[in-house]
Structure 1
């Protein structure tokens, strides 16, 4: 006689144990056995493991493959959206802009329309675009050789360095971009 074991639902009797084993023999799944015997999934799993019984995982494997494919599609959609964000951000670097500031002892608001954003704002737009591109590439890595990827990173790094130098040269007397 097997000694009853404790489970979340209390002691498991020999009859319950036999019923779990019998249901397994009918090729019932773990969840169904747990539902039919009113025992936890863990209890069913432990009893079956003690008896060296395994469950058919074919359906689980297929469901997992399907879920992985769904997640890959969602990542691709998100990567495409991030790529679009990066494109819109870089377009803003060359679009007309309004710069503004609050200042003076009376905290006066001033604004000015400019042909394109100041260099510091361009640097911020490029940094934001760079983040969007990097995240997009991590979600769906490009199918290119490593040399092309390195060349693109080098180009983006050079562009960011150039914008940083340009921002450092901007005269300090112009109205700022509204940050701070």
Structure 2
């Protein structure tokens, strides 16, 4: 680096030409063995500035890509959560391996046990919370997001009503 040393007129002119050509500041600094601040100072004295439109466009494109990624992830989370809630009342297979022979045993229950049902509903609640946060971060597609959240809320309501009716009907053991 040439810090502290004066920059000769020929180098200053070549730096100005590189700035006019649209080269990035740090690339110019490396090319001429100068600090970034020296290149900025030469540009300022010459009334030149660095074109940041490419950086701004790249930043905007990255933001769009991240928003699209959040939307894809939200859709996957929603689909998995809905699938679990939809299958909560389906027959439920329980199994084990055991004994001296390590035998496989299975039994099909009418529906998932209470602890599994609780886990499904808890998972769906977490998904709901995460989707809400994603929607809060993303200002675009608000109507679509509200529709998704309404669907989730309806699913929770139906699952909760079904869960309540089943727990009320269950006999209490002695």
Q: Provide closer, same or farther for how the CA distance between residues 114 and 171 of structure 1 changes in structure 2, counting only shifts above 3 A.
A: farther
Greater Cα shift, 16-25 or 82-91: 16-25
In the alignment, structure 1 residue 15 sits paired with structure 2 residue 7:
yes
Contact residue 93 and residue 122 of structure 1 kept, 8 A: yes
Counterpart of 1:65 in structure 2 is: 60
Distance in 1, matches of 2:79 and 2:155, equals: 19
Q: TM-score, normalised by structure 2?
A: 0.63
Q: Provide closer, same or farther for how the CA distance between residues 35 and 124 of structure 1 changes in structure 2, counting only shifts above 3 A.
A: same
Counterpart of 2:94 in structure 1 is: 99
Per chain length, whose mean CA-contact separation is higher, i.e. which structure has more relative contact order (CA < 8 Å, sep 6+)? 1
Question: How far 1:58 sits from its partner (Å)?
Answer: 1.1
Higher helix share: 2
Residues 34-82 of structure 1, C-alpha deviation per residue, up to 9 Å, x if partnerless?
Answer: 342245xxx21x2244454632211111111111111111111111111
Q: Provide closer, same or farther for how the CA distance between residues 171 and 110 of structure 1 changes in structure 2, counting only shifts above 3 A.
A: farther
1:47 paired residue among 38, 42, 53: 38
Counterpart of 1:36 in structure 2 is: 31
In the alignment, structure 1 residue 79 sits paired with structure 2 residue 82:
no
**What stretches of structure 2 of length at least 5 have no aligned partner?**
none
Q: TM-score, normalised by structure 1?
A: 0.61
**What stretches of structure 1 of length at least 5 have no aligned partner?**
1-8, 174-180
